[in-house]
Chains A and B, each alone.
Chain A
Amino acid sequence: MVIWADCSESGDCSRSIRSLVASILFHPEGARWALQCVRRSKILFYLSLLFGLGGMLYIGLGALNDLRGPGGAHPYLRIGSVLLLVAAAIGTCAQIFLRRDYASLRLQIQDISQRHLTGSHVEAVSSDLLPLTQAVNELLETTEQSVSESVMRVKELEIQLKVATNERRHAEAIIHSISDAVLVSNNFDEVVLANDTAARTFGFELGADRLPIDQIVKTSSLTELIRDMRTSGSRNSHRVVEHKMRSDQGMRIYKVTLNCVADNGDGVGGVVTVLHDMTRENEVAQMKNDFVSSVSHELRTPLASIKAYVEMLIDGEAEDHKTQQEFYEVIQGEANRLSRLIDNILSISRIESGLVQTNRKPLSLPLVIKEAIEVITPQAKMKQIGLVEKMTPAFYQTLADKDMIYQAVLNLLSNAVKYTPEGGTITVETQVNEHKHTVTTFIRDTGAGIPESDLPQLFEKFYRVERNNGMAKGTGLGLSLVKQIIETAHKGVVRVESQVGVGTTFSFELELCQ
């Protein structure tokens, strides 16, 4: 609504007046005086917004040059002056009320803002500001609702964060308790999680920032494997491959298990790589195969003789009594060989697996050695081998299982007799080292000797020195049993020194009794 009071002759709504009217809308006071030039006449205007009426007061007092006349004031001027005073009074009153209401409204809003009052409303102080008050109250309600929702959401997120943190700790604990090497990489091929075994395997420090997988895994073929898995695998992809990797301990074989980690969508967010070191398992499996193969060979050989000779006797191939007797002796000998072989295998197996209960008592080694020498003497005599004894006094005792030590000494003496040519010498000696609190038994022969290249494998099961194979029969288990008896069952040490063509010295060291 516009109160129009244009006193000028040229009163109309030209462009300049329109801009004047527009300017009041943005005037901070809501009212103004203005001198505007309209059609070459200067016209005085008073403009004011009428808030309560929702309109505007617009008064044009006419051109200044028309207001002055010789006969005093122009009639228009008088009417205009009254209108002007009325308009000014209305405008001023409206402004005063408006400012008061506005200030009250502002104070209420400031109070709500400063005291964070919830559920507060702004009271309408006048009908003029009622729409504004309603709008402010609506805004307050909407804001309060949004804040309430945000607080709930933050609480939910805090709970989710705690759950996620706990889950991550669980995952870390699980990963660190795995004995295999575990690497978790993200979709940028950075390692985000790894365990101690992985750190040891790849030689990096845990806790470092997300390092690219290339910097941790130096084997390019493995990094390619992980990258391929991420790029070509689907979210539930699983792959197991055998992978060889060089390390400080030589070439090692790993079973690598790769699993894709699903991201939030349908894609792959990373890869979990688990490396299981198969090297030792493969070695054990190979040793087991070799052992079964060797046992099979060693059992079949005497069995073949027994079966063949028995069949010859049945078929009457042994015509005279002497040949028959010879066949019986072969069968008996081979049956004994088979029996010894089985005993040795079982003894080794029992000691290795810890099944044998050692009956350790204070024992005088010279006495046990003498018993073994007595048993071996007939065989030595047959080859004219001299047996020399250099024993320590019997009061030096060691805590040992008599039967086992007897078996070990007998095996060493038996070997010495087998591989010493006729006319040779075998010396058995015990030496006490009181400083080390040990007693060492030496069995020296003047036999064929063992090549240096054979020494490292000498105590392995079924290992036989090929060079001396033709000199005597053997199962290749005797020395292995000696090692098991001395080192596994008695925590002692077995040693060997040899020179081809000169002789061999086997020795074992045991701790003296307290």
Chain B
Amino acid sequence: MAKKILIADDESHILHVISLKLRNAGYEVICARDGQEAFELATSQLPDLLITDYHMPCLSGLELCHRLKHEPTTSHIPAVMLTARGYHLEPQDMQQSGILLMISKPFSPRELLTTVNEMLQKAA
């Protein structure tokens, strides 16, 4: 059974390119255009991994991760954070929010896929 990945980004092109790359690699992908939609999809669909942008309308990527970490059903979901502002989070904050990795934009979809593969293998 294919692993399910939730992607959250308000930039439709980014959302499209990541989802295409992951789908081509055999993953099941669900997409959200803001933080609130991502939270609702995560709690209802329970993905294996979350890839989220930092800066999003309604709910930021960091707030989204915080909320998911505090939900019993979603607290185990690992997250990868994309950021175009070069934000840096302390390891402690990342751990508390369930964020395993921060990736700066512009990024390589190829490297992102490799990272996702490694994460999901470790989780398995």
Taking Cβ atoms with an 8 Å cutoff, the residues of A that contact B are 293, 296-297, 300-301, 303-309, 311-312, 315, 317, 330, 334, 466, 469-470
A334→B16 CA distance, assembly (Å): 14
Residue of A nearest to B55 (CB): A297
Q: Are A308 and B17 in contact (CB under 8 A)?
A: yes
CB distance from A296 to the nearest CB of B (A): 6
Take A309-B13, A309-B17, A470-B57 as given contacts and tell me if A297 and B109 are in contact as well, using a CB distance cutoff of 8 Å.
Answer: no
Q: Which residue, of A304, A305, A317, has the highest number of chain B Cβ atoms within 10 A?
A: A304
* Chain B neighbourhood of A308, CB < 8 A: 13-14, 17-18, 106-109
B residues sitting closer than 8 Å to A (CB atoms) are 10-11, 13-14, 16-18, 20-21, 24, 33-34, 55, 57-58, 84-86, 104-110
Complex-state Cα separation, A470 to B34, whole angstroms:
9
A315 contacts B10, CB within 8 Å?
no
- Asked whether B20 lies within 8 Å of A469 as measured between CB atoms, the reply is no
Asked if A304 contacts B106 (CB within 8 A), the reply is yes
Q: Which residues of B contact A470 (CB under 8 A)?
A: 10, 33-34, 57
Number of A-B residue pairs having CB atoms within 8 Å of each other in the complex = 67
* B57–A307 touching, CB < 8 Å: no
Q: Is the interface of A mostly helix, strand, loop or mixed?
A: helix
* Known interface pairs A304-B14, A309-B17, A469-B57; A315-B110 also in contact (CB < 8 Å): yes
Q: With A and B bound together, what is the CA distance between A312 and B113 in angstroms?
A: 12
Q: Contact: B20 with A312, CB < 8 Å?
A: yes
Q: Which residues of B contact A317 (CB under 8 A)?
A: 20-21, 24, 109
Which A residues are in CB contact (< 8 Å) with B17? 305, 308-309, 312
Contact B85–A297 (Cβ < 8 Å):
yes
Distance between B93 CB and nearest chain A CB, rounded to angstroms: 19
Q: Given A301-B84, A317-B21, A470-B33, A307–B13 Cβ distance below 8 Å?
A: no
In the bound complex, residues from chain A placing their C-beta under 8 Å from that of B10 are 469-470
Name A301's contact: one of B20, B24, B105 (CB within 8 Å): B105
- Interchain nearest-CB distance for B15 vs A (Å): 10
- Taking a contact as CB atoms closer than 8 A, the residue among B24, B33, B84 that contacts A304 in the complex is B84
